[in-house]
Each structure stands twice: as structure tokens, then as C-alpha cells.
Amino acid sequence: MITQKIKALFQFIEYLHSNIENFNHYNGLIMELETLNNKRNELEPGRNYKDKLQYDKVQAEIENKFKTLQENTANLIKAKAKELNLCNFDNAPIYNFNGIINEIHQLKNNFIDKDLSEIFKHKSQYIEYRMQTHKTFLSLQIFFNDLDVIAKNLFDYFKDTQQNEFEAFETKAIPVNSIAETIQGFKKGQTKFTLPGSVLFNTSTNERLQNEALPPQQTETKTPTAPAIALLCNLINDAGIIKRENDEIPEKYCKRICEKYSLKYTDRVRQNFNGNKSKKHYKELTELILPCIDKTTKDKIQKHLDSKNPPKQKLYA
């Protein structure tokens, strides 16, 4: 039989389905925000005052438009889920769906014939909603990922085909080899990953990764400056990790390193390749670059620095 929590889920699906057209009114605004976000990411506010002025202008426009989007989409969705006691948002982005999985298992074991029409109706509504609306409204990706898992757990049992009916919209897991790769994936908008069995993935790490994936309501995006990136290039060459070829000019070498470690190359990286590096640049390297680089490379850089006497720079614990 259909329990109270399942009824709440079905009522929530009905709400989503009835608002497809309303939510789609804001697709244009989502496109504007994505364009502004790309524009913001191209700026380097720590490098030049003009970039800082433009960055602040773009950030203010993002915050204003993002607020409008949330008020008319995501906030309404969350309010409805709370009203139905379907989901607890107190520990977001860790969502508590109040034990509904247990009741789904009960329904699978105890359904009756008259339940089937309700189940198939709401399955159709949920799939239609997910196919026809934006996946996240720029803030609900983890929520809808979790909701997809719940819905699939229920509706996959009640189907007459071997086809994955959720394939068109469900988030695919991306294979990664380290926590650093996972963080980079989150920054690019991915939220599901497969890690090797040797990587231990605890709750605190999971919460940290999810928080880093949240979209543009944050007030500032810190990116490493060109001298800090140039410092990395210099150290990788000096440490023999990736040696610069005899006839390779600094521009070509720095581009090669930036591409390998997913860093932004500018001509200022080339200009600073052989320049003096300050404590500020080592700090940026430590806080903004090394967390996204594999441990083997970090260890080799640290070993190289430890061999220099003086100075002895300690990059990370």
C-alpha cells in the first residue's frame, strides 16, 4: 500500500510537474548567468585594478540575477519539499529524505493492484519534469541527484522494459583517481564520481567537496596569479619532474605545464618563469595550486626544496 511518505513524494512530483512551464520562463536567465560566470572566470582581479573593477561589476550582476532565479525556482522547490516534510535541508548539501527509502522497500513488498495506476502516473510525471526543465537551477544539483536515486529506486521496480528510463537526465559517474581530481570535477559542475578502492572517502571530505561545487552565490573566486603559476612551472622543471627541452622556449614549456595541471596560461606566466618569487607567491602555490595536484608531484617539489640550502620552504604538512 502507498504510505504517507510515498504520498508526500507523489504530491511533490505533482507540484514539480505542474510548474514545468513556470520554471522554464527562467531558462533565459540561466543562460545569462552562465555567460556572466564564464566572463567572471576570465578576469584576474588580483592582477590588475581594471580586472578588479570589472570583476566586481560582473559579480554584482551575477548576485542580483542569481537571487531572482532562486526566488522563482529553487527556493519554491525547497519550500514545497519542506511543507510536505519530504526533505530536511538543515545540513545542506547533505539532504535527509526522512526515511523514505524504507517505505519504498515496504511498497515493493506490499503493493496492491490499485496502487499501480498511481505509481505509473507519477513515474511519467517525474520523467517528464526532469526531461523538460533545467536540471539544477544552478543550486539544486545535489538535491536532484539524491531525488533521482530515490525515484529510480521506486520506479525502476515498476517498469515493463529493460531500458534505463532515467538515462537521459541522470548524472553519470565520472572515473577519477584522486581527491584532487574529484575537487576539479566538482568545480566543473560534476557531482558523481567513482574512486579506486584504495581511496578512503569519509563524511567530512564528502561535505567539503560538495560545498566546493555550489554555484555562484559565493562573493569571491580566488585564482592563482601568473607569478604563482610561473613558480610551479619553474619548480617542476628544477625538480626534474617534467624537464624543459634544450630548445624549448619558456612560453612553450609553461603552456605545456599549465595544460597538464589545468591552470590558466597567460603571457605573464612566461614573463615570470625566471623571475624572483616572493613568500606571497609560495603562499598562493600552497593554498590555490597544490591542493589540486597529485601527491607524487607535491612530494617531489618538497624534496627538491628541502635539498636547497638555504632557503628551506615547507609547502604543506
Q: What is the pLDDT of residues 84-117, one digit of tens each?
A: 999 998 887 788 898 899 999 999 999 999 999 9
Share of the chain above pLDDT 70, in %: 80
Judge contact between 46 and 71, C-beta under 8 A. no
Q: Which of 90, 87, 102, 66 is nearest to 147 (CA)?
A: 87
- 184/138 same-domain check: no
Of 6-20, 98-112, 184-198, the range with the lowest mean pLDDT is: 184-198
- 208/130 same-domain check: no
Judge contact between 115 and 107, C-beta under 8 A. yes
CA distance 170 to 260: 30
Query: Is 36 contained in some domain?
Result: no
Residues of 223-237 as b/e, b for ≥16 C-beta within 10 angstroms? bbbbbbbbbbbbbbb
- 143/250 same-domain check: no
- 82/151 same-domain check: yes
Q: Which of 236, 239, 228, 234 is nearest to 282 (CA)?
A: 228
**Cell representation of residue 135:** 536540471
- 247/287 same-domain check: yes
pLDDT at 54 over 80: yes
251-266 mean pLDDT: 90
Q: How many domains does the chain have?
A: 3
Quickly count: other Cβ atoms within 10 Å of residue 205's Cβ: 14
pLDDT at res. 151 = 93
pLDDT at res. 209 = 44
Last residue of a domain, one of 165, 184, 213: 213
pLDDT at res. 237 = 92
Domain span at residue 85 reads 4-26+73-155
Query: Is 253 contained in some domain?
Result: yes
**Cell representation of residue 293:** 595536484
- Give the bridge partners for 78, in sequence order: none
| pTM for the predicted model, two decimal places | 0.58
More confident residue, 214 or 263: 263
Burial class (CB in 10 A: 0-12, 13-18, 19+), 277: middle
User: CB neighbours of 10 closer than 8 A, spacing ≥ 6?
Assistant: 2, 118, 122
- 142/180 same-domain check: no
Of 43-52, 132-141, 200-209, 273-282, the range with the lowest mean pLDDT is: 200-209
Q: Alpha carbon of 295 to those of 177, 198, 260, 301: distances in Å?
A: 11, 14, 15, 10
pLDDT at 211 over 80: no
- 142/91 same-domain check: yes
- 145/249 same-domain check: no
Share of the chain above pLDDT 90, in %: 50
CA distance 120 to 179: 40
CA distance 146 to 96: 9
218-246 mean pLDDT: 84
pLDDT at res. 277 = 78
- 130/10 same-domain check: yes
